[in-house]
């Protein structure tokens, strides 16, 4: 029974989801995605839970980008080269950029990672997820925003 609990927590660790309704920060990466539903993720290559959540993020991205879903993964690593090497080796296709100074603070800080925010098509932060995301959590929080009026991807 203990092994079952450990396995469950590894694959579906607890995360705290807060519902919000506040404007997203005015950042260049987000301005380019106006009209889409965006998952903003703070992570690092050295963070085991961050690495563990990324396959679910990639799968959800590949399955839903045609519906107007995008990801911006802000890495807290030291260099973009580290980030690029990790993303290429793992085969991830969503954008991952080094978090410039002030980016995490624009979202209220990222003292603990992984930390994610879901932004709706109108540019409002709808959810804050402190902890690891998984496929079910992504679907539950993002699919209603993708299906909301205002529909398809922005072009």
Q: 7 in a domain, yes or no?
A: no
pLDDT of residue 148: 83
pLDDT of residue 17: 79
pLDDT of residue 97: 96
Q: 40 in a domain, yes or no?
A: yes
Q: 86 in a domain, yes or no?
A: yes
pLDDT of residue 69: 98
pLDDT string in tens for the chain (155-residue length) = 666 545 555 555 667 777 888 999 999 999 999 999 999 999 999 999 999 999 999 999 999 999 999 999 999 999 999 999 999 999 999 999 999 999 999 999 998 999 999 999 999 999 999 999 999 999 999 999 999 875 444 43
Axis crossing angle, helix 135-147 with helix 48-64, rounded to the nearest 10: 40
Nearest Cα residue to 54 out of 145, 130, 135: 135
Q: Residue 13, SS3?
A: coil
Q: 5 in a domain, yes or no?
A: no
DSSP secondary structure letter of residue 25: P
Q: 54 in a domain, yes or no?
A: yes
Burial class (CB in 10 A: 0-12, 13-18, 19+), 138: buried
Q: Which ranges in 70-124 belong to alpha helices (H)?
A: 80-90, 103-106
Domain that holds residue 115: 16-147
Contact yes or no for 57/71 (Cβ under 8 A) = yes
Number of domains forming the structure of the chain: 1
CATH number of the domain that residue 123 is part of: 3.40.30.10
pLDDT of residue 154: 41
Question: CA dihedral defined by 59, 143, 74, 107, rounded to 10 degrees?
Answer: -160
């Amino acid at each position: 029974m203990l092994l079952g609990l450990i396995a469950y927590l590894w694959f579906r660790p607890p995360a705290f989801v807060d519902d919000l309704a506040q404007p997203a920060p005015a950042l260049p990466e987000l301005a380019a995605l106006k009209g889409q539903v965006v998952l903003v993720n703070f992570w690092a290559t050295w963070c085991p839970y961050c690495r563990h959540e990324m396959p679910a993020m990639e799968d959800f991205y590949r399955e839903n980008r045609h519906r107007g879903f995008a990801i911006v993964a802000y890495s807290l690593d030291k260099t973009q080269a580290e980030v690029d090497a990790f993303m290429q080796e793992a085969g991830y296709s969503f954008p991952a950029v080094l978090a410039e100074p002030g980016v995490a603070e624009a979202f209220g800080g990222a003292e603990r990672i992984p930390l994610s925010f879901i932004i709706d098509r109108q540019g409002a932060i709808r959810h804050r997820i402190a902890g690891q995301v998984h496929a079910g959590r992504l679907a539950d929080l993002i699919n209603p925003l993708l299906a909301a009026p205002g529909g398809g991807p922005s072009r």
